[in-house]
A = this chain, B = another copy of it.
């Protein structure tokens, strides 16, 4: 057993599926409804079926350790600018903000990096993923690549998601986080590593979407606004968990 294998097993310990809440949005949007106090929200979700949380490096220190004693920490470890103005976001290339040593010191069970393709800097995107994979794997920490298209209108196209996931896995990612697409089995069948769902189409029945992608090979969920802006977040977690792990 390697440390990487041990951590991968930990992530998928509950029936081979991973269910995390993504609370990393403020690094790009700033203040957000539902995320006024991330520490309080995390603490309130202690007794749910959530396996853990995606958090930015600066937020980890403010979480009560007891709120996460049986949860996994997925460190959001890349940035791409902000949404404060049109020019202040880099839609082509995101970069790491956390060394593997920092992730280890924060107790991260995995680290998440945006992997933007289809733009003008795909080579840099590949180089950065390769670099962080090497760096993180030396400390036994799994790397999750979130596949994004530089052209946001293509983030639900099957061919892009399937190719993007495969490219990330060829470079070295251990887990893929990707948005919904129609033929999700094309993504999972062409990818040697587990794929988790980043989010569903707007206005869809989200639990039905989860059941569909799970039947097509998805191994987990990483939902953000769907959860932290839900009217009944705990109820939704229950429903999603049932859909995921049935």
Flag if B120 contacts A192 (CB, 8 Å).
Answer: no
1/0 per residue A150-165: CB within 8 Å of B? 1000000001101110
Flag if B31 contacts A162 (CB, 8 Å).
Answer: yes
Chain B residues, Cβ within 8 Å of A172: 57-58
Flag if B122 contacts A58 (CB, 8 Å).
Answer: no
Near B by CB (< 8 A), chain A positions 131-152 give 131, 133-134, 149-150
Chain B residues, Cβ within 8 Å of A150: 88
* Copies in the assembly, this chain: 5
Question: Whose C-beta in chain B lies nearest to the C-beta of A55?
Answer: B170
Cα–Cα, bound, A57→B58 (Å): 26
Flag if B167 contacts A90 (CB, 8 Å).
Answer: no
Flag if A123 contacts B79 (CB, 8 Å).
Answer: yes
**Is A14 positioned at the interface, with any CB of B under 8 Å from its CB?**
no
Chain B residues, Cβ within 8 Å of A43: none
Cα–Cα, bound, A44→B149 (Å): 34
**Is A171 positioned at the interface, with any CB of B under 8 Å from its CB?**
yes
Partner of A169, one of B58, B87, B97, B120: B58
Question: Whose C-beta in chain B lies nearest to the C-beta of A145?
Answer: B58
Chain B residues, Cβ within 8 Å of A82: 117-118, 122, 126, 163, 167
Flag if A170 contacts B102 (CB, 8 Å).
Answer: no
Flag if A30 contacts B166 (CB, 8 Å).
Answer: yes
Please give the distance in Å from A186's CB to the nearest CB on chain B.
7
Flag if A31 contacts B166 (CB, 8 Å).
Answer: yes
Flag if B59 contacts A169 (CB, 8 Å).
Answer: yes
**Is A39 positioned at the interface, with any CB of B under 8 Å from its CB?**
yes
**Is A130 positioned at the interface, with any CB of B under 8 Å from its CB?**
yes
**Is A173 positioned at the interface, with any CB of B under 8 Å from its CB?**
yes
Known contacts: A27-B170, A31-B186, A170-B58. The answer to whether A85 contacts B119 by CB under 8 A is yes
Question: Whose C-beta in chain B lies nearest to the C-beta of A186?
Answer: B31
A-B contact pairs, 21 of them (CB 8 A): A26-B166, A26-B170, A30-B162, A30-B164, A31-B159, A36-B189, A39-B192, A57-B170, A58-B171, A59-B169, A62-B193, A79-B126, A79-B130, A81-B123, A84-B160, A87-B119, A87-B120, A89-B122, A90-B122, A94-B123, A102-B134
